[in-house]
A and B are shown apart, each in its own frame.
Chain A
Amino acid sequence: MAGIIGYGAYIPRNRIKVEEIAKVWGADAPSYKKGLMLEEKSVPSPDQDTITMSVEAARSALKRAGIDPREIGAVYVGSESHPYAVKPSGTVLAEALGATPECHTADLEFACKAGSEGMFIALNLVRSGAVKYGLAVGADTSQGAPGDALEYSTAAGAAAFLFGKDDLVAEAVETYAFMTDTPDFWRREYMYYPRHGGRFTGDPAYFKHTTGAAVGIMAKAKLKPADFAYVVFHQPNGKFPLRAGEILGFARKQIEPGWLVNRLGNTYSGSSPLGLTATLDIAKPDDLVLMVSYGSGAGSDAFIWRVTGRIDKVRNLAPRTRDLLDGNKVYLDYGVYAKFRRKIRKAE
């Protein structure tokens, strides 16, 4: 029996509102807010990146797990905004935690599901007995092209999960992966901004894989939507996860605790992982939680977790996701946002 022994979240405190972005590009803010079900998104400060957020989220996970970091045998960072194209984020994270040198690491990318990918791998290494503890982090500070629809939602955040076999906070009941080659959203090497296929990102991409994975894992585990206390979907905007839930037969109240996007934005590799940390923050012992990620390209990783009695002992040992989301916010104007996100062309 393996599962989550510690979890942690990190969200930068800067925010920018939809109105502020719309104003600059002459777009109709109310229709964006309604269409995306989005009010504002998080923005990383210039001194925050995928690595810094991963370290802080992982430190919180360690606090909840209470283990010796030297016993962590594998560290995976999944992101589409790794600070280096070549030189892992994972090595910095492992050094910062004190997990080196006896530790395996790899940096992962698969659009927004790079984080859950790491979870899939780390969990299964623990299950197989290859490592005692495994750490997976989903973190991103992705870029949206100026004036593009994605600029309203691309946000920053990180979630970390430590896996082990003892003192579980949530047992892994089942895992599943559903993947095809579907070019709905991509970024070529050396290009600064990603591109996407517009409405093609909906039914043939997000919905096909999200529902495919959900249906597949529930069949494998012989469970139905009503068996779950909560479900967490990848959140590229406010609407998609709610619609996925509807299609599959979940109720709104099952989705809401993990539905952060309306005030967070899409944290890409951190999206469904942060939905999971927010859900664990309020879940009760014996609750079943379904998590389905989605990464363009395309694929979904699905997990079924059963929360244990230990959740009550550890949830307050580190910051709660919604406290990070709603507390201590600083609102930026578009100029400062553009400066922070390096969208202003500077002298060579």
Chain B
Amino acid sequence: MPTPSRYWREIPQRYRYEAGRCKACGFICFPPRLVCPRCGAREFETTKLAGTGTVLTYTIIRVAPEGFEDQVPYAVGIAELEDGVKLTAQIVDCDFASLKIGLKVRLEFRKLSEDGEAGIIHYGYKFVPA
């Protein structure tokens, strides 16, 4: 379970989808980085992720890690957003029978988990069918 500071540090990414675009080659890093994985350059400008994309692969989790037990079964997938960024997230509000490679999805603000009944609540993004 992320500690308050670990959680808080990623807020611009989890709440506002802030990414870094390499000034040299245009590659978009999410989350932002110090070194461009494509061209090795070190200068970036802040950008936001495209809000919609297409599912590339997915699965349905039936044995969950700590903190997600009550959500079982839940679908997760990797989608390629319209700006080329590939993102991993849960796919919700979608019947399992409708899950497929090629499904159009968009990002929605949801609760991911919480640190028990008394700990902080972890928010972020999930995919919903577009």
The answer to whether B111 touches A49, judged by C-beta atoms less than 8 angstroms apart, is yes
Q: A47 — which chain B residues lie within 8 A by C-beta?
A: 71, 90, 92, 110-112, 126
The answer to whether B110 touches A48, judged by C-beta atoms less than 8 angstroms apart, is yes
Count of A-B residue pairs with CB < 8 Å? 43
The answer to whether B11 touches A95, judged by C-beta atoms less than 8 angstroms apart, is yes
* B 9-51 to A, binary, CB cutoff 8 A, 1 in contact else 0: 0010001100000000000000000000000000000000000
The answer to whether B15 touches A13, judged by C-beta atoms less than 8 angstroms apart, is no
Which chain B residues numbered 74 to 130 have a C-beta less than 8 Å away from chain A? 90, 92-93, 108-112, 121, 123, 126
B66 close to A (CB within 8 Å): no
Quick one: given A52-B111, A84-B121, are A46 and B92 in contact (CB under 8 Å)?
A: no
Contact partner, B93, options A13, A83, A92, A95, Cβ 8 Å: A13
Docked complex Cα distance between A171 and B90 (Å): 41
Residue of B nearest to A14 (CB): B93
Docked complex Cα distance between A84 and B15 (Å): 18
A252 close to B (CB within 8 Å): no
* A 45-65 to B, binary, CB cutoff 8 A, 1 in contact else 0: 111110110011001000000
Quick one: given A52-B111, A83-B121, A95-B15, are A46 and B70 in contact (CB under 8 Å)?
A: yes
Q: B108 — which chain A residues lie within 8 A by C-beta?
A: 56
* Shortest beta-carbon distance from B128 to chain A in Å: 9
A contact residues, range: 10 to 19
Docked complex Cα distance between A49 and B114 (Å): 12
Q: B126 — which chain A residues lie within 8 A by C-beta?
A: 47
Docked complex Cα distance between A96 and B12 (Å): 8
Q: A51 — which chain B residues lie within 8 A by C-beta?
A: 111, 121, 123
Q: Which of B15, B71, B93, B109 is packed against the most chain A CB atoms within 10 Å? A: B109
The answer to whether B70 touches A339, judged by C-beta atoms less than 8 angstroms apart, is yes
* A 30-58 to B, binary, CB cutoff 8 A, 1 in contact else 0: 00000000000000011111011001100
Q: A328 — which chain B residues lie within 8 A by C-beta?
A: 93
Residue of A nearest to B95 (CB): A330
Q: B123 — which chain A residues lie within 8 A by C-beta?
A: 51-52, 92, 96
Q: A48 — which chain B residues lie within 8 A by C-beta?
A: 110-111
The answer to whether B109 touches A96, judged by C-beta atoms less than 8 angstroms apart, is yes
Q: A84 — which chain B residues lie within 8 A by C-beta?
A: 121
The answer to whether A95 touches B109, judged by C-beta atoms less than 8 angstroms apart, is no
A147 close to B (CB within 8 Å): no
The answer to whether B109 touches A56, judged by C-beta atoms less than 8 angstroms apart, is yes
Q: A98 — which chain B residues lie within 8 A by C-beta?
A: 16
The answer to whether B109 touches A45, judged by C-beta atoms less than 8 angstroms apart, is no
The answer to whether A96 touches B110, judged by C-beta atoms less than 8 angstroms apart, is no
Docked complex Cα distance between A13 and B90 (Å): 17
Q: B16 — which chain A residues lie within 8 A by C-beta?
A: 95-96, 98
Q: Which of B16, B71, B123 is packed against the most chain A CB atoms within 10 Å? A: B123
The answer to whether A45 touches B70, judged by C-beta atoms less than 8 angstroms apart, is no
Quick one: given A51-B123, A52-B109, A84-B121, are A45 and B92 in contact (CB under 8 Å)?
A: yes
* Shortest beta-carbon distance from B66 to chain A in Å: 14
* Shortest beta-carbon distance from B118 to chain A in Å: 11
Docked complex Cα distance between A59 and B123 (Å): 16
Q: A95 — which chain B residues lie within 8 A by C-beta?
A: 11, 15-16
Residue of A nearest to B110 (CB): A47
Q: B71 — which chain A residues lie within 8 A by C-beta?
A: 46-47
Docked complex Cα distance between A265 and B66 (Å): 34
Docked complex Cα distance between A92 and B11 (Å): 9
Q: A339 — which chain B residues lie within 8 A by C-beta?
A: 70
* Shortest beta-carbon distance from B94 to chain A in Å: 10
Docked complex Cα distance between A96 and B123 (Å): 10
Residue of A nearest to B14 (CB): A96
Docked complex Cα distance between A95 and B17 (Å): 11
Chosen A-B contacts, 18 in total, with CB atoms closer than 8 Å, are A45-B92, A45-B93, A46-B111, A47-B71, A47-B111, A47-B112, A48-B111, A52-B109, A52-B110, A55-B109, A83-B121, A92-B15, A96-B15, A96-B109, A96-B123, A98-B16, A328-B93, A339-B70
**Lowest 3 CB-CB distances: which A-B pairs, in order?**
A55-B109, A96-B15, A47-B110
* Interfacial residues, chain A to chain B (CB-CB below 8 A): 13, 45-49, 51-52, 55-56, 59, 83-84, 92, 95-96, 98, 328, 339
Given contacts A56-B109, A92-B123, A98-B16, 12 further A-B contacts (CB under 8 A): A13-B93, A46-B70, A46-B71, A46-B111, A47-B90, A47-B92, A48-B111, A51-B111, A52-B123, A84-B121, A96-B15, A328-B93
